[in-house]
Amino acid sequence: MKKFIFFFTAFLLSAQSVAAADIDLQEIDAASRMEKPNSNSIMFRRNAEMYQQLTDEQKKEIDRQREEARKQMEEYERKKAEYEAQMKAQQEAERKRAEELKPITLYGNSLKIYALVNGEIITSNDMQSRINAFIMTTGIPYNAKTKSMIINKVLQAAIDEKLKIQEAKKNKIIVTPQEIKAAVREFEKSNGMNAGQLKTILEKSKVSMNVWTKQIEADIAWKKLIASKGHGRVSVGENEIKRAFDDIKKDMKTQKYMVSEIVINKKDAKDINGLVEVLRQDPRFELYAMQFSQSPSAANGGRLGWVTEGKLPAVLESALVKLKEGSVSSPIAYGNDFYIFKMEKIFNPKTDAQSLPDRKQVKNYLENKKLEEFADKYIKDLRNRALIEKKI
């Protein structure tokens, strides 16, 4: 009998190293019945007799094992329920996102005028195609938080498109069908599509091919116009390059921040808190900046580059320095705008190393910056001179 008791006790002690999934609950249950037998079975009576012969320490070990098994089962059930809840939430989020990325329909079959641009109209059919193209290309969901911003963004882009094509025609800038066709094919190649596949995808997304090609025409025409008008206005002299190098060397000795921004005028910012919520959940800050920011930095995905201390207005800098890497700020009111910052990286000159760019890189940077500033001023002047009537 003693030999059996020793074996039984050894078995219980060895169970301490067994994972929850490997515990033999029948053994634990048997020990429980030995303590308080509820059957006339000879086996149960014998088990009870053996249990009574165990020492108090051995009985405590059995109790401890039973309690450990109970806790492990509770933990298993908790994790199982947690996993099932996460899977359910993920499936619901995927369903909701798929719903928000579906093509939209504006005003059913009726036709509305959204805007007049120097006498040329932008209709609800145009807007419907453009909004669907926006959803298709960006993957930004069309929901209560983004709807107003998307409509405003798309409408302004449609207005600018009209202005660019009108200005290009005035300056005898011609975009050939061959150039448009080549641009379409380039878009297909860059997105892994076969020739002609874009047309099918656009139809599925309820995007007019005519609207799509008009956007391409405006883009090509504008690039030609800026190249023509900007030629000779973006030259960079040796003194400018030297000053830029001096600034870079100085910056490398001071703490600075790699920052991206979204700037929205206060009159257009009624949904800005909703935008911040989206930005804190969706890591594609650059994409949202390109689509919604009203700052020249939007062309670069909102990237400001390295910002040293003392370069920004105090109200903006005080909010910026509180951010951790990867975090997004709350809206910061300054002047007529709201600013949203994302802290990309913090540079500490004591611990971080950074190499100097070469002369060609600095020269290209300065030229591109001047060209972007010229293009931004040009489109703003066109907007100010144009007769624009927004109907909706």
How confident is the model at residue 298, as a pLDDT?
87
CA–CA dist 297, 312 (Å, integer): 15
Selection from 259, 241, 233, 214 nearest residue 359 by Cα = 241
What is the identity of the amino acid at 271? D
CA 194-199-200 angle, to 5 degrees, is 85
Task: Kindly report the CATH class assigned to 253-355.
Answer: alpha beta
pLDDT in tens, 262-319: 999 999 888 899 999 999 998 889 989 988 999 888 877 899 888 887 888 999 999 9
How confident is the model at residue 378, as a pLDDT?
94
Q: Which CATH superfamily is domain 113-233+385-390 in?
A: Porin chaperone SurA, peptide-binding domain (1.10.4030.10)
Q: Give every residue of the chain whose pLDDT is below 70, as ranges.
A: 1-48, 93-102, 107-109
User: Which residues lie across from 17 on neighbouring strands?
Assistant: none
Residue 378 φ/ψ, nearest 5 degrees: -60, -50
Selection from 96, 93, 108, 7 nearest residue 54 by Cα = 7
Which residues fall within 8 angstroms of residue 41, CB to CB, at 6 or more apart?
Answer: none
- Note whether 386 and 241 are within 8 A (CB): no
How confident is the model at residue 61, as a pLDDT?
84
How confident is the model at residue 131, as a pLDDT?
93
Selection from 323, 366, 358 nearest residue 341 by Cα = 323
How confident is the model at residue 12, as a pLDDT?
41
Which residues belong to CATH 3.10.50.40 in the chain?
Answer: 253-355
How confident is the model at residue 65, as a pLDDT?
86
Three state DSSP letters for 117-176? ECCEEEEHHHHHHHHHHHHHHHCCCCCCCCHHHHHHHHHHHHHHHHHHHHHHHHCCCCCC
Which residues belong to CATH 1.10.4030.10 in the chain?
Answer: 113-233+385-390
pTM: 0.62
Query: Residue 34 has which token pair?
Result: 């030995």
How confident is the model at residue 40, as a pLDDT?
53
pLDDT in tens, 153-188: 899 999 999 999 999 999 999 999 999 999 999 999
